[in-house]
Amino acid sequence: MLTVDTGAGLLRGPTGEIACSLGRSGPIAAVDKREGDGATPLGDWPIRGLLLRPDRIAPIRTALPWRWIRADDGWSDDAADPAYNRPVRHPHTHSAERLWREDPLYDLIVILGHNDAPPAAGMGSAIFLHCWRDRATTEGCVAVAKTDLIALVERLAPGDVLRIA
């Protein structure tokens, strides 16, 4: 199991301790998480798989399921969308975050099983483990340096869980 120590700003796992950043509003109990609040939900989140930018990252040797990010990929963040907290393609009829970004934050995305079985409208979407930019806070995700993230996902396997505590 991977563990995020929210007080110390550290992710502990098979590669040791890694500095991480959290949501701009800090950690929050998962039952209190709301769409757009900028908080990182506490809890145990299964690792579902990976998304990678083909123009910025080489294929990674990992046991996790993965696929390339496409230029029209998105993730629904509209609580009124039947596809809420699910991957979608742009153009999309509801609000959806674009996964193909100009910055490097989504060069490698670890999809976490937060609010996905099934999604509850408005309880938070697109909670990922992804690359950071200069330790800046996120909109609710956990972020680490790209080199650390690559080393980490090479050691992860189906069934692994990220505990945010």
Predicted confidence pLDDT, tens digits, the chain (165 residues): 999 999 999 999 999 999 999 999 999 999 999 999 999 999 999 999 999 999 999 999 999 999 999 999 999 999 999 999 999 999 999 999 999 999 999 999 999 999 999 999 999 999 999 999 999 999 999 999 999 999 999 999 999 999 999
What is the CATH number for 66? 2.40.440
- Domain, as residue range, for 145: 2-164
CA 131 to chain centre: 9
- For the chain, the domain total comes to 1
Beta strands in 53-107 (DSSP E): 66-68, 73-76, 87-89, 96-98
Question: Any idea which residue has 């509801």 for tokens?
Answer: 94
Q: Which two tokens stand for residue 57?
A: 């990252």
Q: What is the pTM of this model?
A: 0.98
How far, in Å, are 50, 111, 134 from residue 10 at the CA level? 21, 19, 15
